[in-house]
Amino acid sequence: MEKIFDAVVISPLGKIGIKTSGEKLTHISFLSAASPTSAPSNPVAKDAASQLDYYFRNPNFSFSLPLNPEGTPFQLSVWELLKTIPLGATLTYGGLAQKLATSSRAIGGACRRNPLPIVIPCHRIIAAQNLGGYSGAKTGELFKIKEWLLKHEGINF
């Protein structure tokens, strides 16, 4: 059986799967509680697990991981801009859309497909009147993750 993740770690948000390719981080996934944990199988996965742990202990931690998210040129441009939103700050879908001369809906679609949540902070994008969604969810466990991340970074809503 092929191994899906290069590490599965326990976090305050539950279990997180880490996937790498070569020398770069490619995916971070929120997993079910039933998922078995696994120690990092390579240096990049080990570094990602360590940096996630630091972030969960200190919300002011800045990630410095080699990333290789796969997406369309538009998605990649959105994800690059997401990385510029400072800790403790948010930006609306519309605000980010203006920077790229596109629509709020297009920004939401790119955020929904972000393969590296937390590290590429799509949780910092909110709607004009509420928190918006998270990974396509407006309620439930995934949405609770967005709320937790924002509170962790000191964002009051």
Do 16 and 8 form a contact (C-beta atoms < 8 A)? yes
- Does residue 122 have an active-site annotation? yes
Q: What distance in Å separates the CA atoms of residue 107 and residue 76, rounded to the nearest whole number? A: 11
Residues 6 or more apart whose CB falls under 8 angstroms from that of 58 comprise: none
For 57, counting Cβ atoms within 10 Å of its Cβ (0-12 exposed, 13-18 middle, 19+ buried), the class is exposed
Locate 11 and state its tokens.
């976090």
CB-based burial, 86-124: b 16+ in 10 Å, e otherwise: eeeebbbbeebbeeeebebebbbbbbebbbbbbbbbbbb
Catalytic residue among 44, 45, 116, 122: 122
Active site residues per annotation: 122
